[in-house]
Structure 1
Amino acid sequence: MIKVLLVDDESWTRDIVKAFGDWEQFEMEIAGEADDGLEALRLMEALSPQIVITDMRMPGVDGVRLLESLNDQYPDIKTIVVSGYDDFQYAKHALRYRAVDYLLKPVDPKELNAALQKCKNELEAAAQPDRPALELDIDLSYLLSSYKQVLRSHFNELNKEGIAATLHQMSEELERSGIMKAGMLEQVVQEMLLLLKELMFANSIDMDNLKAAYGQETFAAPANTVLFITHHYIETIELLIQHRKFKNKLNLEEVRLFMEKHYAEPITLEQLARAFFVSKEYLSKMFKQEFGRNVTDYMLHLRMVKAKEWLSDESIPIKTVAEMAGYEDVTYFYRVFKKHFGVAPGEMRKSGEV
């Protein structure tokens, strides 16, 4: 098992990371937890973890000093930064000390598991002496992040034209940015294929269908790299379309499972209907007959159940609960929650009813 050390002075953040990580899938285990960098360095000797997930702002030895020490004393360690601050100075420190990824709080489960997958890939690559591990470029990851959000949306709508246009736009930006090194283009491939694997998993597509062998010509230019990525995205969407389109009837259980995996995303009835090749009227009617709620109400129900569950942990701020449940506007979350349960989130937490 790959050992992981969690470092954060907020216990609720450590609990969220523990809850959101697909540890068994990645053959990982939480070997220990630390409140600050000093305790983390003591645990390094005792536990010998291969991965450290750390906050940046902590009392005593903070994340910057911890990353510096780990880089000097344990150069093979893989680190992931989880920070409550969208501060590029922190991101530059993470880049300088070779962090695998820089995640913002509240932690997104998909981003966390993508970072864990990167760590696993790099650890496996490092175990092969003939192939050096790929070092993550934080600036490049920032450039790719906005495209990933658009790609998720287009993929869930089975929008091949949108996928192709987005990746073409990304190719042009890579050209303008002067990103021509093979190592950086390989990072583009790895990050985009990792996102594709995540989307395949969320849509119950067998990972064995992704045959992504590539050679040096793939990294000759950004256009080559993006053409390679586009081919695999379009091929996977066509596979998903075939899987859904030629079934004898609409699989409502598959729709329900899709909603449970994407409840925190702004998915509309129209988008869901397009993704499953039915009219929105038919989907709404059949879904309500099967589950007793229409699609919108069921999505709201999923969000509220999760929010109530997270409220039981008093160390998680209500603002964070709202964000994890898919609500950026905390005031709107309060109104929806009170209408659903008849009591405000803070009152429910105080009463102990959660």
Structure 2
Amino acid sequence: MYKALIVDDEKWVINSLLRCVDWSNFFIEIASTATDGIEAYSLAQEIKPDIIITDLRMPGMDGLELIRRYKLVNPDVLTIILSGYDVFSYAQQALRLNVFDYLLKPIDKSNIESVLLRAVSQLNSKNSNTQIPANISTALNDKKVNTYISEIVDYINDYYQDDLTLGTVAEKFHLNPSYLSDLFSKSMGMTFSNYLTGVRIEKATQFLLYTDYSLETIAEKTGFNNYRQFIRAFKRMCSETPSEFRNKNRKEDGDI
């Protein structure tokens, strides 16, 4: 089982998350909960969670500072932010900390379950020697997620830079494209195309922050046909151009 720590200064939010998600179906146990960042940081050092799900604004230590500090202890921890604030500057800071996902409150059950599915898939790929279910559909029985989906998600994450399309991936996994499209949307809560673009944009932000690659090079390395397509997709998802994002968020020497 993967261990998770839930952090929110509103106890009803924690209780709601505990009730609305059948965590065992995701091969996750809630190791502990906390109502502020200071308490959470202390607990995290003790229980060593695989996943931290945290509120953004809390007294004492906010969610971003909690993530920043604990990643110095365990850089591999997977972090998910829950926030009632649709402020892009927060999302930008989250990107710099390599946060796995950023969800706006009120949290929709299908959204959090979709994020957890992707999180478990990523943890599985990083922990191939861990005793985990061989078939993710068993661990996610209530959602009846087909094994193909976890394999396809892993495939996209590994080969996002290639010329992937719904058709080529369907052919790779011996599926009808229409069937794959429907299965993917129902299982992941988003279309195949949106997920693929999201993965590419996430990878692109890392190149923008930590390299001097040109936009043309980044577009090529992240699977876009050309840099114009890359710019359009980035602006659609991030509400600013890649150059604007880089100029505002570029990692300086000594930054975490």
Shorter-chain TM-score category? Answer: 0.5 to 0.7
Q: 1:122 to 1:237 in 2, by over 3 A?
A: closer
Task: Answer yes or no: is 1:42 the counterpart of 2:63.
Answer: no
Q: CA deviation at 1:208?
A: 4.5
Corresponding letter in the other structure for 1:92: Q
Q: 1:83 to 1:230 in 2, by over 3 A?
A: farther
For residues 214-237 of structure 1, give each alpha carbon's deviation from its aligned partner in whole angstroms, at most 9, with x where no partner exists. Answer: 599964555x33434577551247
Corresponding letter in the other structure for 1:46: E
Task: Answer yes or no: is 1:207 the counterpart of 2:151.
Answer: no
Distance in 2 between the 1:81 and 1:215 partners?
23
1:80-99 pair list within 5 angstroms: 80-99=80-99
Partner SS for 2:9: coil
> Is contact 2:166-2:181 (8 Å) kept?
no
Partner SS for 1:24: helix
Greater relative contact order structure (CA < 8 Å, 6+ sep): 2
For residues 227-266 of structure 1, give each alpha carbon's deviation from its aligned partner in whole angstroms, at most 9, with x where no partner exists. Answer: 3457755124789xxxxxxxxxxxxxxxxxxxxxxxxxxx
Task: Answer yes or no: is 1:225 the counterpart of 2:165.
Answer: yes
Which position in structure 2 is the counterpart of 1:69? 69
Corresponding letter in the other structure for 2:67: L
The structure that has the greater radius of gyration is 1
Distance in 2 between the 1:36 and 1:226 partners?
43
> Is contact 2:44-2:70 (8 Å) kept?
no
Distance in 2 between the 1:95 and 1:109 partners?
23
Task: Answer yes or no: is 1:26 the counterpart of 2:26.
Answer: yes
> Is contact 2:25-2:142 (8 Å) kept?
no
CA RMSD in angstroms comes to 3.3
Partner SS for 1:67: helix
Which position in structure 2 is the counterpart of 1:258? none
Q: 1:228 to 1:76 in 2, by over 3 A?
A: same
Partner SS for 2:30: strand
Task: Answer yes or no: is 1:11 the counterpart of 2:43.
Answer: no
Q: CA deviation at 1:45?
A: 2.1
What is the TM-score when the length of structure 2 is the normalising length? 0.56
1:93-132 pair list within 5 angstroms: 93-128=93-128
> Is contact 1:52-1:77 (8 Å) kept?
yes
Q: CA deviation at 1:72?
A: 1.6
Query: Aligned residues, how many?
Result: 168
Distance in 2 between the 1:109 and 1:56 partners?
19
Corresponding letter in the other structure for 1:207: N
> Is contact 2:7-2:14 (8 Å) kept?
yes
Match of 2:178 among 234, 238, 249: 234
- The structure richer in helix per residue is 1
What is the TM-score when the length of structure 1 is the normalising length? 0.42
| Percent sequence identity over aligned pairs | 35
Q: Give ranges in structure 1 of 5+ residues lacking alignment.
A: 130-193, 240-354
Q: 1:126 to 1:208 in 2, by over 3 A?
A: closer
Q: 1:116 to 1:216 in 2, by over 3 A?
A: closer
Q: 1:29 to 1:215 in 2, by over 3 A?
A: closer
> Is contact 1:218-1:225 (8 Å) kept?
no
Q: 1:217 to 1:39 in 2, by over 3 A?
A: closer
Q: Give ranges in structure 2 of 5+ residues lacking alignment.
A: 130-135, 184-256
> Is contact 2:5-2:49 (8 Å) kept?
yes
